[in-house]
Amino acid sequence: MSSSKSSLTALTLGAIGVVYGDIGTSVLYAIKEVFASGHVPFTPQNVMGILSIFFWTLTVIVSIKYVSLVLRADNNGEGGLVAMLALASQSVKDKPVLRRWLLGIGIFGTCLFYGDGVITPAISVLSAVEGLEIISPAFTKAVIPLTLVILFGLFAVQKHGTTGIGKFFGPITLAWFIVIAVLGVVQIAANPAILWALSPHYALGFMFDNPGVTFIILGAVVLCVTGAEALYADLGHFGRKPIRLAWFSVVMPALTLNYFGQGALLLKNPEAVKNPFYLMAPDWALVPLVLLATMATVIASQALITGAFSVTKQVIQLGYLPRLQVQHTSVKDVGQIYMPFVNWGLYVAIVMAVVMFKSSSNLASAYGIAVTLDMLITTTLTFFVIRYSWNYPLALCIGATGFFFLVDLAFFSSNMMKLFEGGWFPLLIGAAVFTLMTTWKKGRELLTQSMQRDALDLHGFLDAVFVSPPVRVEGTAVFLTAETGIVPNAMLHNLKHNKVLHANNLFVTVQHHEVPWIGLDKRVEIESLGHDCWQVVVHYGFKNDPDLPKALHLLRGQGCDLNDMTTSYFLSRDIVIPTIGGGMAQWREKLFAQMHHNASGAAAFLRLPNNAVVELGSKIEI
């Protein structure tokens, strides 16, 4: 009993560090941006109204929508937009047109995650370092260079993994929440009447009296729920109970106290609007507070970078991106990975964001469109899950998701007003990634069709070969093929050039499925083709780590025992030739050919031993 309690405590502490780092650092800039917009007249009644809107936004979007409702929609214990997409598409698999639309919408939402992944670290770290300007205006020129140095250090250490420093994430972020709560309590104690803003009638009163202004400022209010999607995405790492416990016991109270503390300060000193968070602190505490804020924002950014690696790996296994180099940074935790291309691609985009926008206030204009559209997509997919997978009554499904859909739509519509002020930036990133993903998916379909047109039937081919069999040599040949039942190009080349056949031959097809995990008991299927030849299908979920040699060892006892020392893996290295006319526009075919050329080899992706791989090339027109 005590061990389960200590495990729950450890998971809750971990959730505070990883899941809530992002939303926890929004106190640095959210209130400032609402009042800095100039749309809200500075009156005590308006301050109360804005604080009430903040509190009820956190309550409705985070506490009710994500923590209470969306966390229930787990896919075998996994969360996140990819897991939700897989659930939704599976629930409507008997409706192919609807399923295709949902897949398109869900994949676009996943692409927007990358836009959010660029803006969030930039605005978080920049807003923390801007605290130096409060210490002394002389530091103003150092803010951007120091931000870039911190971000470079963060991305440079990714290849070493987070095992060593990960254990400090929870305690540091917990210290951050305690500090921001204390800062808020000190200010509230000087003006306890501010707590009346907890009543929803202040929010409703402000909205009723200022409908136009309310709509405009929703674009800034949404800053208080940055990272809400991370709640759901990290479900598989921590579980539902620790995430909920961390939110209600630590995060929500600390955020509420800090926001209300900033409001109390603004009632006393309206001039503090230039940076209400840092101006809550006494002068002697500013330097340590800037250091703690910087650590908290780096940890928040770390969680997002790790999420980008994880999402990219899942999308690759769903077939929407080419294989990329994946390095495992932990021998204990298979989920800890490093992807150099994603890491440095994100860093370059974040540097562009910092240099182009120059301040957290300018970046706040860019933030919001991507994240609110993601929230809208999550709500839409949730409807199809609870309606078609859980089979809840239609009226209940519309009622449960319709309210959140309208709330998300209001936030998204408000943020669309920032489109030309910077909102285009994350949308541009999302659109670029979406173009890459859809081009790769369509290109793979065309490639498969082209291969099937020229393919030979495996059963008939083997029957013909064994009428007058070639010389057979010792050992096992594993031929990888994209489709079952067809002759791999690698085998044709091997017979043509080497004129031999191995004693044992496995024709292996690796299939990835729209479920997070597939257990070892369902990992492999085997069918005997006669003459010591077998057709093998290896199954993986999008969260499984592919390891083909390990999977093939599961065949022991089924008439096909592999010896690592005498097994060779034969792969086809296809060169794609774009042709005029056909499946895609010429520029997309050229893009696909380039992506195909640059994709990391199947050998590394499937963890094949380097000294046992034979690659044989061929050209395929699409």
Question: Same domain for 461 and 410?
Answer: no
- Which range, 428-432, 528-532, 611-615, is most confident? 428-432
Closest among 558, 546, 569 to 490, alpha carbons compared: 569
The answer to whether 245 touches 7, Cβ cutoff 8 Å, is: no
Give the type of residue at 188. Answer: I
> Do 409 and 514 reside in the same domain of the chain?
no
Looking at the fold, whether 269 and 402 belong to one and the same domain comes out as: yes
- Within-domain flag for 441: no
Q: Does residue 439 have a pLDDT over 90? A: yes
Question: Average pLDDT, whole number, for the chain?
Answer: 88
Q: How many residues does the chain have?
A: 622
> For residue 70, what pLDDT is reported?
87
Contact 394, 161 (CB under 8 A): no
CA angle 351, 355, 360 (to 5 degrees): 95
Give the Cα separation of 140 and 471 in Å (integer).
77
H helix intervals, 392-457: 394-415, 424-454
Is 609 a domain residue? yes
Q: Do 255 and 382 belong together in one domain? A: yes
Query: Region 28-49: what's the mean pLDDT?
Result: 86
> What is the token pair recorded at 90?
């599976």
Tracing tokens 């003459």 back to the chain, one arrives at 531
Same domain, 178 and 303: yes
- DSSP β-ladder status, 533-541 and 524-530: antiparallel
Same-domain status, 400 and 493: no
Shared domain check, 413 and 461: no
Please report, rounded to a whole number, the percentage of residues in the chain having pLDDT higher than 90.
46
| Domain, as residue range, for 346 | 2-422
166 pLDDT band, cuts 50/70/90, is low
Burial of 15 (0-12, 13-18, 19+ CB in 10 A): buried
Domain end, chosen from 372, 406, 422, is at 422
Say how far apart CA 423 and CA 531 lie, in whole Å: 62
Is 440 inside a domain boundary? no
453 and 340 within one domain: no
Q: Does residue 364 register a pLDDT over 70?
A: yes
Q: Does the pLDDT value for residue 96 go beyond 60?
A: yes
Checking if the pLDDT of 319 tops 60, the result is yes
- Going by pLDDT thresholds of 50, 70 and 90, the confidence category of residue 331 is low
pLDDT in tens, 173-192: 999 999 999 999 999 999 99
The pTM is what? 0.85
CA–CA–CA angle 319, 320, 322 (5° rounding):
80
Residues 575, 621: contact at Cβ < 8 Å?
A: no
Q: Model confidence at 4, in pLDDT bands (50, 70, 90)? A: low
Q: Classify each residue of 486-517 as buried b or exposed e, where b means 16 or more C-beta atoms within 10 Å of its C-beta.
A: bbbbbbbbbeeeeeebbebbbbbbbebbbbbb
Please report whether residue 443 resides in a domain.
no
Torsion sign across C-alpha atoms 467, 471, 473, 477 = negative
**Between these two residues, 616 and 426, which has the higher pLDDT value?**
426
Residue at 435 is within a domain: no
Report whether pLDDT(167) > 90: no
* Confidence grade of residue 72 (pLDDT, cut at 50, 70, 90): confident
Residues contacting 369, CB < 8 A, separation 6+ = 412, 415, 416, 418, 419, 423, 426, 427
pLDDT for residue 385 is more than 80: yes
Average pLDDT over residues 293-306: 88
State the helix-helix crossing angle for 200-209 and 44-57, rounded to 10 degrees. Answer: 110
List Cβ<8 Å contacts ≥24 apart for 550-557.
550/607, 551/523, 551/524, 552/478, 552/506, 552/508, 552/524, 554/520, 554/523, 554/524, 555/524, 555/526
**339 within 8 A of 327, measured Cβ to Cβ:** yes
**Inside any domain, residue 207:** yes
Do 87 and 198 share a domain, yes or no? yes
Residues 88 and 130 in one domain: yes
Give 53-87 as a DSSP string: HHHHHIIIIIIIIIIIIGGG--BTTB-SHHHHHHH
Domain boundary among 422, 440, 466: 422
If asked whether residues 82 and 205 sit together in one domain, one would say yes
Tens digits of per-residue pLDDT, 500-529?
Answer: 899 999 999 999 888 888 998 899 999 999
Q: What is the pLDDT at residue 334?
A: 54
- Does residue 69 lie within any of the structural domains? yes
- Which amino acid appears at position 489 of this protein? N
Q: What is the pLDDT of residue 1?
A: 45
- In this structure, what are the phi and psi dihedrals at residue 455, rounded to the nearest 5 degrees? -80, 150
Block residue for tokens 């992002």 = 22
Q: Are 351 and 118 in contact (CB under 8 A)?
A: no
- The residue-averaged pLDDT of 94-123 equals 90
Q: What is the CATH number of the domain that holds 93?
A: 1.20.1740
Note whether residue 89 is domain-resident. yes
Same-domain check for residues 606 and 531:
yes
Q: What is the pLDDT of residue 6?
A: 62
- The number of domains in the chain is 2
Q: Is 608 exposed, middle or buried (0-12, 13-18, 19+ CB in 10 A)?
A: buried
Are the CB atoms for 538 and 545 separated by under 8 Å? no
String of DSSP letters for 542-554: TTS---HHHHHGG
pLDDT value at residue 497 = 84
Q: Using a pLDDT cut of 70, give the percent of the chain over it.
A: 97
Which has more pLDDT, 161 or 204?
A: 204
What integer is the mean pLDDT of 470-481? 91
Q: What are phi and psi of 333, to 5 degrees?
A: -105, 105
